[in-house]
Amino acid sequence: MNPFILQKFKPIGLVVFCLFTLASCNKSGDKKEEGGVKEMLGLNTVAATETDSLYIKDYIGQHKQFKEHEDLIYQFYGDREYRLGWFKGSDLVPESEKLLTTLNNAAQEGLDPKEYKVVAIDEMISQYNELGRKDSARLELQQQIDIALTATYFNYASDFYKGRIDPRNVKQVQWGVRNNKIKLHKALQTILRERESTYPYYEFEALHKGYTDLRDALQKYRELEEKGGWAKVELGNKKMLVKGDTAAAVVSLRQRLNPGKQINANDPAMRKFDDKLEAQVKAFQELHGIVPDGKVGGNTLRTMNVPVEDRIQQIMMNMERWRWIPKRLVPKSLDQKYIWVNIPEYKLYVYEDPSNSPEAERDYKKTMEMNVIVGKTMHSTPIFSDRMEYVVLAPYWNVPNSIVEKEIAPGILREPGYLERQNMEVVTKERNPKQIDPSSIDWSSVTEKNFPYMVRQRPGPKNSLGTMKFLFPNEHAVYLHDTPSGSLFSQTQRGFSHGCVRLERPMDLAKYVLKDMPEWNESRIQETINGGEEEWITLPKKIQVYLVYFTSWVDEDGNVHFRDDIYGHDKRLEQELFS
C-alpha cells in the first residue's frame, strides 16, 4: 500500500479490518456466507476510492499542459482528503459526460476544443469499460481518468470563467478593473453536487448576460461566414450614395444590408435608393456609432466593408473582456447598484438591483443612461473600477501637473494675465491652501515633477468641471464631472477630455446618488452651486463604478453593436489572442 495512504488511516479502516478477520475466522467453510462478506466489502469489483499527492505529482509530470493549474488540482483533492471526484464506486458520474460534451462544444464559446484535449479521455473511458471489473489494471486507469478529468476541467474553466489571458500579467492590454476572483476548485465542487451555489457552474454556464448575448451573436456571424459573408459595397465613380440615386452600386448596398437574401440585380427597382433602403442605412449607422444621415460614403462605407471575419474576432475579444469582469458586479458591503461607463460607446449607465439584497440572485435593471465625453487619444480614459465616495458641488479644478507643464506654463509665458482670464490661482499643497504670487515663479523651468505648488481653477461658469464632480479616489486622478462645454455632446465621436468623464446630465446623477439623503434635494443642490463655495458631500454608502472598454455588445432588443477601437486596445488584444 502507498505510504501516503497509510498516513490517512481512518476509523472506517477498523471496520474493514474486523470484517476481514470475521471472514477468515469462518470455520464452517460455507462458500455462500464467504461470498456474502465479499459482496459486502465490494471485493467482487476492483475500484479505487482515493488517490494521493505523489500519484498526482507523477501524473502531472507526464502531462506538462496540466502543470499551470497544479495548485488547483492539489487544492481540490486535498479538500476532499484525496477521494476521487468523478466516480461513484467503479462508475463515472453523469457530470463527466457533461464536461466532455462541454469541451467538444468549446468553439461556441470562442475557444478551441483542441486546447483541452491534452489526453484522450474518451479512449481512456472506453478502455476502462472494456476491462473486467476484477481486473487490477482498472484501478490504475480509474485514478488516471479522475485526475485527467479534474485537470482538464481546470484548464477549460480557467479560460472560460477567467479568460484566456490574465490582464494583470499582460501590461499592453491595460485593464485595471478589479480582479475576477472566482474559486475554480469550489466551482468544481458545485458541478459534482458537493456544494450549493447561486452561480450556474453546474450547467457549465457563463456568469454574465453580456457574455451570453455575444455568444449567441457569434453563432449568427459564423453562420454568415459559412455562407460567404456579405457583399462588398463598391461605389464605382461615385463618392457617395444618397436617397434618390439610381446605380449598380445600390444593388451591392442592398446585398450588404440583407446578407443571404436573394436580390435580383436585373430588377430596376433594386437599383433605386429608396426610402426603405435609407432606413436600413440609418439603422446600420446607429448600430455602429455613426451619425445616422442615411448617406453611404466615407466612414459609413469603410464600416460596411469590414469583413465578417473581423467582426467575428471583435465579438470574441469582447467575450474575453466579459470573462475578466468579477462574478459579483457589486460587493456585498456596497449599495446594490453600479455605474457603468463604456468608453468606446461614449455612454454611462446606472444599474440597480430592486431587491437591494446582496444574497439574492443578481437581477440588475437599467435605471439611467446618458451620453458622456471621454479622453482624447493622447489623454485616454483609463480602464478601471473603484467606489464612488463623494459628490462635490461648486468644485475647484485642481489642475494636474502634467497639464501645468504642457498648457498652463506656456499660456502664462505667452500672456501675463492668462491665470486671471482662466479664473485660476496658484496655491500651496496643504489642507488649508495659501495663495502664491504667480509672478514669483519661474514658469519657463516648470515641469510636471518639479512644480511644488498647485494651480486650481475657482468655482464658477468657466470652471472646467462645471457645477459638480463625482469622486471615486484613484491613482489616475480620474472622476465624473459636469462641463461648461455642453455643445460637445451633439458630436458622435466624443473624445475631448484630458481623461476624466464629462456627463451630459450631471444633475440627474447627483439626485440619484443622493436620493437616500433627502436633505440634498435638487433645490438645495442648485442653491449650493449658485453660492460659489465648494461643498463636499460624503455618500452614506459607496457606489461601485466601472470604466470599461467594450467595442461590441448586444442591446436589449437583440441588436449587435460595434464601435471603433478608439484607443487601440482591440488591436493589442487581438495580437495576444489570435497571433
Instruction: Name residues whose C-beta falls within 8 Å of residue 430's C-beta, 6 or more positions apart in sequence.
Output: none
Q: Given the DSSP bridges, would you call strands 480-481 and 468-471 parallel, antiparallel or unpaired?
A: antiparallel
- Four-point Cα dihedral 88, 92, 94, 97, nearest 10: 160
Torsions phi, psi for 466 (to 5 deg): 70, -135
Q: State the catalytic residue, choosing from 185, 498, 500, 569.
A: 500
Where in 259-361 does DSSP place strands (E)?
337-342, 347-352
Nearest one of 213, 470, 467, 504 to 346, comparing CA atoms: 504
- The single-letter DSSP state of residue 438 is G
The reply to whether 500 belongs to the active site is yes
- Four-point Cα dihedral 298, 303, 304, 306, nearest 10: 130
Q: What span, in angstroms and rounded, lies between the C-alpha atoms of 429 and 452?
A: 8
Q: Measured in whole angstroms, how far is the alpha carbon of residue 251 from the centre of its chain?
A: 39
> CA–CA distance from 110 to each of 169, 338, 463 (Å)?
21, 28, 47
Q: State the catalytic residue, choosing from 481, 498, 561, 569.
A: 481
Vertex 424: Cα angle to 422 and 425 (nearest 5): 155
Question: Per the structure block, which three cell numbers stand in for 576?
Answer: 495576444
Q: What is the largest CA-CA distance in the chain?
A: 116
The reply to whether 18 belongs to the active site is no
Which amino acids are annotated catalytic?
481, 500
